[in-house]
Amino acid sequence: MENSTSSHPAMLTLGFGEMTSVKYLYCSLVLIGYSVIVMLNSAVITVTLLNETLQKPMYIFISAFCINGLYGSTAFFPSVFINLLKEVQTISYGACILQNFAVNTYGGSEMSILVVMAFDRYVSICHPLRYNSIMSLTTVFRLIGTAWLYPFILVSILVLLTVRLPLCGSVILKIYCDNWSVVRLSCIDTAVNNTYGMVCTVAMLVVMPILIVISYIAILRVCAKSSKDFRVKALQTCAPHLIALATFLVDVLFEIFLYRYSPTTLPHALRVFMSIHFLVVPPLLNPLIYGMKIRELRIKIIQLLQRQPFALKGSMQL
C-alpha cells in the first residue's frame, strides 16, 4: 500500500551537476546577465513614467511587459547565484514551491500580455478613429490587471494540486524549481496534476496564440486594402510585438521539448541552457527589441542616459 502520508522533504537538491566545477565563471555570467536585464527593463519603465508623451496604451503595455520580465528574472537569477556559491546546491521545499509559482506566473503573464498588446495593435490599425475612446487608461489598466490575474488563478490551482502531493524523492533535475520537476517526485498517482497541467498548457499556448492570430488576420485584411505608406507604418508598429511573440514561443518550445523527451544524451550544459532559455532571453531581448524598433521610445531612453553624466557631475560639484 502506498504511503500517501509521506511528508515533504525539508530540502530539495537542484541539478547543477558539473556547473559547480566552474562556479565562479557562472556566477559572473549570472550577475552580468541579471544586471543587464534590470538596467534595460528599468530604463524602459523609467522613461515611460517620466515622459507624459509616452503615457499612452502601447508604451504602458510595453512597461508592463518589462515589469513582468523583471519579475521572472528576479525569481530565477538571485536563486541561481546564491546556490552556485553554496557547497551543496539545495533549496527548501517552501522556497521551491514559491519559485515554481513565480516562474509559471511569469510565463503565463508573458503570453497574456502579448495577447492584450495584439488587441491594442488591432484597435489602433483597424479602428483608428475610435482608438482613444476604446483604449482609455481605465481600459488599459483593466486589460493589464486581467493579463496578470488570469495566469495567477490558473497557476494557483496548479501549485495547490502540487502541494497536496507527498514526495518520495528529493532531487530536482533543473537548476530551478518548476511544476513538473516537483510533481515527478510524488509517491502517488499524478493523473489529476497531469490533466490540469495539460489544460493550462492549452489555455496558454493554444488559446492565446489563436487570439493573437485572429488579431493579425484582421490587421492584414485592413493593410491589404490600404495604401503602401499605411501598410509600412502598420507593420513597423507590429514588428516588435511579432518578434517578441516569436522569441517567447521558440523559448517555450525548448522547454516543452526538454519536459517531454528529457534528452539525457544531450550535454548537461545544453540541457541547462534549454531549460532556462525562456527565463533569460525574453527579459533580455524585449527591451532591446522595443527600444530599437520604436523611435520615440529609443530617443527618450538615449536622452535619459545622456542626462546621467551631467547629473552626476552636478552632484560632485555640490
pLDDT surpasses 80 at 313: no
pTM of the model: 0.87
Tell the residue number behind the cell numbers 529609443, with chain if given: 298
- pLDDT at residue 77 in the model: 94
- pLDDT at residue 266 in the model: 67
Report how far residue 238's alpha carbon sits from residue 178's, in angstroms, rounded to the nearest whole number.
32
Report how far residue 242's alpha carbon sits from residue 250's, in angstroms, rounded to the nearest whole number.
12
Q: 186-200, 235-249, 294-308: which range is least confident on average?
A: 294-308
User: What is the band of 30 on the pLDDT scale with cuts at 50, 70, 90?
Assistant: very high
Mean pLDDT of 55-71: 93
- pLDDT at residue 50 in the model: 86
User: What is the band of 181 on the pLDDT scale with cuts at 50, 70, 90?
Assistant: confident
- pLDDT at residue 308 in the model: 56
User: What is the band of 314 on the pLDDT scale with cuts at 50, 70, 90?
Assistant: very low
Report how far residue 188's alpha carbon sits from residue 8's, in angstroms, rounded to the nearest whole number.
13
What percentage of the chain exceeds 70 in pLDDT?
A: 91
User: What is the band of 22 on the pLDDT scale with cuts at 50, 70, 90?
Assistant: confident
Please indicate whether residue 78 or residue 9 has the higher confidence score (pLDDT).
78
* Cell numbers standing for residue 184: 515527478
Please indicate whether residue 9 or residue 101 has the higher confidence score (pLDDT).
101
Domains contained in the chain, CATH given: 11-317 (1.20.1070.10)
- pLDDT at residue 32 in the model: 95
Mean pLDDT (the chain, rounded): 85
- pLDDT at residue 273 in the model: 79
Query: Cβ neighbours of residue 263 under 8 Å, at least 6 residues apart?
Result: 257, 271
- pLDDT at residue 264 in the model: 62
- pLDDT at residue 215 in the model: 92
- pLDDT at residue 76 in the model: 94
pLDDT surpasses 70 at 44: yes
**How many angstroms separate the most distant Cα atoms in the chain?**
77
- pLDDT at residue 2 in the model: 42
pLDDT surpasses 70 at 174: yes
- pLDDT at residue 271 in the model: 75
Q: 78-92, 119-133, 281-295: which range is least confident on average?
A: 281-295
Report how far residue 168's alpha carbon sits from residue 162's, in angstroms, rounded to the nearest whole number.
13
β-strand partners of 91: 12
User: What is the band of 317 on the pLDDT scale with cuts at 50, 70, 90?
Assistant: very low
Q: Are 66 and 287 in contact (CB under 8 A)?
A: yes
pLDDT surpasses 50 at 238: yes
Write 273-278 long-range contacts (CB < 8 A, 24+).
Answer: 275/174, 275/175, 275/176, 276/76, 276/174, 276/175, 276/176, 277/251, 278/107, 278/248, 278/251, 278/252, 278/254
- pLDDT at residue 60 in the model: 93
Packing angle, helices 228-261 and 93-126, rounded to 10? 160
Report how far residue 177's alpha carbon sits from residue 101's, in angstroms, rounded to the nearest whole number.
9
Tell the residue number behind the cell numbers 546564491, with chain if given: 82
Tell me the residue type at 177.
Answer: C
